[in-house]
Amino acid sequence: MEGKLDIEQREKIINQKLEPIGETIISWAKKNSLDIKHVLDVINGKLHGTRGVPLKARMKIEEYFGNIFDQ
């Protein structure tokens, strides 16, 4: 797939990974010691995740869910 994934596509990928293990994005963020606001803002494109805490959140998201931001 070329281009960036939109928010709905990102959410679909995330849900496909979390539902089988009975997790939500909130519980996943807590397990990974991440602030849910930062996680949601990175997923929704409100934060780019290039510095500081949002970068940490983006790195964890990409580590678990794959490269869902730049495809």
pLDDT tens digits for range 29-63: 999 999 999 999 999 999 988 899 999 999 999 99
**pLDDT score of 1:** 46
Q: Where are the domains of the chain?
A: 23-65
Burial tier of 53 (Cβ tally within 10 Å: 0-12, 13-18, 19+): middle
> What's the rounded Cα separation, in Å, for the pair 29 and 4?
23
**pLDDT score of 5:** 87
**pLDDT score of 69:** 87
Does residue 70 surpass a pLDDT of 80? no
Q: Which of residues 48 and 22 earns the better pLDDT score? A: 22
pLDDT tens digits for range 9-18: 999 999 999 9
Tell me the DSSP string of the chain: --S---HHHHHHHHHHHHGGGT--HHHHHHHTT--HHHHHHHHTTSS---SHHHHHHHHHHHHHH-S-S--
